[in-house]
Amino acid sequence: MKAIEVARSLGISDKAAWGYIQDCEEVVESDQYVATLKGATVHLAVKVKGLGGRRLLRECRGTLRRWFDHHDVLRAPVQSSNVKAIRIAVALGFRPYATTATHVWLIQTKERFNGH
């Protein structure tokens, strides 16, 4: 998956997408997911292949582990209507902490991620 393709599928213009991508600390593109890190905000787009997505979750956790080397807290905004994305974020250890009219904000701490 490519970040620009994900942005296009969400109706985001190429100009806005490239601007966001350039502002990110890191963009990870793989065959099953795209993850971006900007400050302490994480965006994740996934394409589940196979049974249950265990490989996908393992790879996403590896990315998060690297990001927790530099951040104590990571936040993820997910559209309220995207129930599947919320489930994946929760499976990665994120927990809801705030809601807006359009999004659920989830949070994960380094301490909880590392099992402390």
- We report the CATH number of the domain holding residue 73 as 3.40.630.30
Q: Could you read off the pLDDT of 29-40 as tens digits, one per residue?
A: 998 999 999 999
pLDDT (0 to 100) of residue 52: 62
Q: How far apart are CA 13 and CA 25, in angstroms?
A: 20
Q: Could you read off the pLDDT of 66-101 as tens digits, one per residue?
A: 999 999 999 999 999 999 899 999 999 999 999 999
What percent of the chain lies above the pLDDT cut of 90?
A: 83
Cα Rg, the chain, nearest whole Å: 14
Domain that holds residue 68: 3-113
Instruction: Tell me the torsion sign for CA atoms 22, 65, 34, 94.
Output: negative
3-class DSSP assignment, residue 62? helix
Q: How far apart are CA 80 and CA 74, in angstroms?
A: 18
How many other β-carbons are positioned within 10 Å of the β-carbon of residue 94? 25
Global confidence as pTM: 0.89
The number of distinct structural domains making up the chain is 1
